[in-house]
Structure 1
Amino acid sequence: MNSTELRHRSVAKSVNDNVSSMTTDVTSTKKDSRRGSTAKSSWMEVWLWRIPLILFYAFWFLFGLLVLRKTQNAITAVRYVKRHGHTVAQEIIENSREFDDLIHMLDVEFTRPPAFLLLNQYALNMTYNFLCNTASLSGVHERLIFVTLDTVSRDELRKMWPDIRQFHWPTPSLYKPFSFAEGPYQTIYLLRANLAVSLLRKGKSFWMMQQDTFWRKNLFELGFEDDMSYDAIFDQLGVNEKSMRTNWVNGANFFIRANNDTIKFFERLSEKLAHWYTPDMGVMIHQCHTWGRPRCAYFPYEMAHSWEWMYTAQKNPPYILQLDCETDGGSKLMQLGKFGFHFVDSNGTCDHEKVQLARERMEAGQIEVRRNIPSWGRLQFKAYWYIVEYILWTPYIGPLLKPYLPLVGYILMITV
């Protein structure tokens, strides 16, 4: 074998070795790639499986925290009412000189039932706004009596609106600002119930009203007080007659006729508010739906509606529009201003043009809501009412729950 053949064989062997080495490297690379891909796929599968599990546990953890928070709030509120309830007790009211003066005023100065509104110093701006709104409606201010709960509200209201009547009932437990479902919030509704009992025992029919209501027209002109087919007539929740919440008491604006049945109605309401963590409208709904008497009726939606009307097609504007749904009492007037219902200038002057403009917008169905971001309180109420509509819509179960569900309203609203 010559040297040339040896060189050729050496070159061929070298080439074969290189090819074999390259093949081995490629195979190894493919195996490593497959191994890496498999590991990555396995890692993703693990996380895809874990994410729902993490979300599941996170949801129930958050839910548990909200339940604990709500439980603490409920206990605190009930304790507050029990600690301060004696300051607004029926016996204290009825045996006071101030109440005797009130009854004398009703006997001498009123030929029609009065309308009571409760007020502490932190609701003064809302009160001025309401009085500005109703100033142009004949006879409305003459029917109003404000229950002033501190000396600041008494003196400031007397200074700004000297002709507005007052029943001064200083209540230290209600001196500070408070929000929805808190202890003072419950206490003020206990006071309202006890004042109602005291008035009814004296044979005095009355209206109860709230300042966070816009009056497009005069509700007193509609003759509700003269209709003897009912003993009590309330504003109602829901959007229209097809709503599942129709005939649920809203509890902001209502008229009560004095008789034995309405006395028992408010006596029982007072007893429950003194011991239960429940909204007063929830108790009124339950009693209206399960008691034979008193005879409860409801304002047609065309006469009295809640803030929900603004989120409909805005047809058939009501006489009065109750605008509450804020869980933070301090933000109410600011929220009303976003919708064009703030009428008092910074210097305290009533702007009657703004009032008229708001009435015109209501009548034209042009209350702007889409450009305004809903407050946290409004979002919560919208969500809860949406859920309630579906609960009440449920066949068989819904009708059974309708009289009772509002009693646990505070408890179910765990985010409030």
Structure 2
Amino acid sequence: MPNSENHSGGLSKISNSRHYSFSVVVVLFIFSVAAVLPLLFSMMSIHLFRQRNVIMTVDRVAAKLSFEDIHNDYDFVQFSEGLKAMQKPPYIVFYDSSNLDIFLNHICNLEFIPNALSRLVAISFDTNSHMILQEKYPKIPSVVVDLDPIKESLEETYENRRYIIYQLVLLTRTRVCASLALRGINYWAMQQDSLWIENFESMNIEDRYSDQYMLFDTVGNEQATAMITFNFQLPEYKRMHGWICGSTYFVRGNPTTHQFFMQVDAFMRSHQSPDSSIMTYLCGHRNYKCHRLPRWIISSSDYFRGTRETTPVMIQVDSDQKEETKMELFQRANFIFRHDNGTCDRRAVHKLRDAVRLAFPEKLKTLGQNMYAEGLLTRLYYAYKHIFNVDRYNNKVFLTVHYTLI
């Protein structure tokens, strides 16, 4: 019996010890959470304050050049009338002094493509670049929507100044698009850093999709599209199916597309979201009649992260190296079509197909690698969304894509 009592007493002590240990763990956990919560709250508060400041600043400075200011400007009205008189929808390229060299290079790319230059028009965001373009290419219709006074009103030391100016440029482009749509003008909005590998003009894309109001490029590449079929997708593209890139898009001018861009305008002044994510979100409404173009026609820079088996007709080239200018990037990739004396290089344009296949070999080395590994919580979050069919295409997630930039 004594042995039995000792045994029972020992078990009791072990049980009490375990209970005590568990209680200590719970208490420590509570204290840890209590200690961390103020820090997390402080960090979130600071970020929310910065985000709110960015949104309010964009709204404030954008009011200095409103939709009405652009729409009713005499020079812009004359420019718009010229676009109306064109036989085919114009290719509108937006630019400023920071990328004028890339735009001049782009013009040389188009010079050797039949009928491309005849449809090219330009909208500059500063007077200096506009004057230089007019001097070099007086036959290209152009107009200024001057953002320099607004930029100068922001001190160089203003917090998140570069991002605010970036949003201002996107917002101004949106207002230009809304104005042209209100006037019933069909047009292509394009960027100066796009490469034309084939004759995009001869494809008459806008006529092929005559029942659609807007045509958009998308992120990802053809490899990603093929992998979806086999349920195997590059991780960073898996969540982005159908996301609009926004570098090249066609607009059929009518009241619906005017309303669409006015919605983008309002959203950009109340949220920290780029125009491409807002357009993706709004295109979820079928009445807007948005269509995503296949990537073999127009591709983003994501093309260079694929196998490159299919060369798109057009590729927009982004830079992911902060210490490298866009022109330096183009030089490294052999995308230069303009001689130092200002004449255009026909041979470089003819060799462009080979150049894009061989460009950026370092990206080919990462082919198939998971560059953006997802944690367990992220995977559980997307699993929950999938089970309950919440934001099925992650369009609302896309609206938050810029949150980490400030």
**Is the TM value for this pair above 0.5?**
yes
1:120 corresponding residue in structure 2:
96
Cα distance in 1 for partners of 2:373, 2:124 equals 32
Alpha-carbon offset, residue 206 of structure 1? 1.2
- The question of 1:286 aligning with 2:267 is answered no
Cα distance change, pair 112–330 in 1 and its aligned pair in 2 (3 A): farther
Deviation at 1:166, TM superposition (A): 0.2
Q: 2:390 aligns with which of 390, 400, 407?
A: 400
Q: What CA distance in whole angstroms lies between the structure 1 residues aligned with 2:59 and 2:195?
A: 34
SS in 2 for 1:250: strand
- In structure 1, distance between residues paired with 2:251 and 2:372: 29
Partner of 1:261: 256
2:246 to 234, 251, 259: 251
Contact kept in structure 2, 1:66 and 1:415, CA below 8 Å: no
For 2:47 and 2:104, how far apart are their aligned partners in 1? 34
| Aligned match for 1:207, one of 163, 188, 199 | 188
> 1:366 is matched with which residue?
358
Question: 1:275 is matched with which residue?
Answer: 270
Equivalent in 185, 208, 225 of residue 166 of structure 2: 185
Q: Are 2:305 and 2:363, in contact at CA under 8 Å, matched by a contact in 1?
A: no
Distance in 1, matches of 2:246 and 2:261, equals 13
2-side partners of 1:102 and 1:346: how far apart?
31
Q: 2:402 aligns with which of 389, 399, 410?
A: 410
Q: Tell me whether 1:165 sits opposite 2:141 in the alignment.
A: yes
Equivalences for residues 50-65 of structure 1 within 5 A: none
Is 1:341–2:317 an aligned residue pair?
A: no
Residue 147 of structure 1 is matched in structure 2 by 123
- Kindly tell me: are residues 93 and 371 of structure 1, through their superposed partners in 2, closer, same or farther at Cα, counting changes over 3 Å? closer
Name the residue aligned to 2:216: 234
Aligned-CA RMSD value: 3.5
Instruction: Report how far residue 255 of structure 1 moved.
Output: 0.2
| 1:303-342 matches, cutoff 5 A | 303-326=297-320, 328=322, 331-342=325-336
Distance 1:278 1:195 in 2: 18
Contact 2:182 2:258 in 1 (8 A): yes
CA distance in 2, matches of 1:220, 1:248: 24
Counterparts in 2 of 1:76 and 1:351: CA distance versus 1, 3 Å: farther
Q: Which amino acid aligns with 1:237?
A: V
Q: What secondary structure does 2:69 align onto?
A: helix
Contact 2:218-2:292 within 8 A present in 1 as well: yes
SS of aligned partner of 2:400 = helix
Task: Report the alpha carbon displacement of residue 148 of structure 1 after superposing the two structures with TM.
Answer: 1.4
Q: Which runs of 5+ in 1 are unaligned?
A: 1-59, 375-381
Instruction: Find the aligned partners of 1:410 and 1:136 in 2 and give their Cα distance.
Output: 38
Instruction: Give the Cα–Cα distance (whole angstroms) in 2 for the partners of residues 237 and 357 of structure 1.
Output: 25
| 2:177 corresponding residue in structure 1 | 196
Counting only pairs closer than 5 Å after superposition, residues 124-135 of structure 1 correspond to structure 2 as 124-135=100-111
Q: Is the 8 A contact 1:147 1:166 kept in 2?
A: yes
Q: Which AA in structure 1 matches 2:204?
A: G
* Residue 42 (structure 1) aligns with: none
Distance 2:321 2:363 in 1: 21
Write out per-residue CA displacement over residues 273-318 of structure 1, whole angstroms, 9 at most, x where no aligned residue.
12221111110111112x1211111111111111111121111100
Q: Distance in 1 between matches of 2:353 and 2:217?
A: 20
Q: 1:349 to 1:223 in 2, by over 3 A?
A: closer
2:61 alignment counterpart: 84
How far has the Cα of 1:114 moved from its partner?
A: 1.3
How many angstroms apart in 2 are the aligned matches of 1:145 and 1:180? 29
Task: Give 5+ residue unaligned stretches, structure 2.
Answer: 1-36, 229-236
- Residue 218 of structure 1 and its aligned partner are, at CA, apart by 2.2
CA distance in 2, matches of 1:274, 1:143: 32
Displacement after TM superposition at 1:385 (Å) = 9.5
Structure 1 residues 247 and 325, CA gap change in structure 2 (3 angstroms): farther
Q: C-alpha distance in 2, partners of 1:368/1:236?
A: 21
CA distance in 2, matches of 1:356, 1:393: 48
Letter in structure 1 aligned against 2:220: G
User: How far is the alpha carbon of 1:268 from its aligned partner?
Assistant: 0.5
Q: Larger Rg: 1 or 2?
A: 1
Q: Assess if the C-alpha contact under 8 Å between 1:73 and 1:182 holds in 2.
A: no
Secondary structure in 2 aligned to 1:195? helix
Query: CA, structure 1 residues 262+350, in 2 after alignment: closer, same or farther (shift >3 Å)?
Result: same
**In structure 2, do the counterparts of structure 1 residues 273 and 361 end up closer, same or farther at CA, with 3 Å as the change threshold?**
same
Residues 1:105 and 1:278: Cα distance change in structure 2 (over 3 Å) = same
| Letter of the 1:84 counterpart | V
Deviation of residue 352 (structure 1)? 2.7
The Cα of 1:127 is off from its aligned counterpart by: 0.7
Aligned AA for 2:351? Answer: L
Aligned twin of 1:13? none
Question: TM-score, normalised to structure 1's length?
Answer: 0.73
Q: When the two structures are aligned, how many residues end up with a matched partner?
A: 343
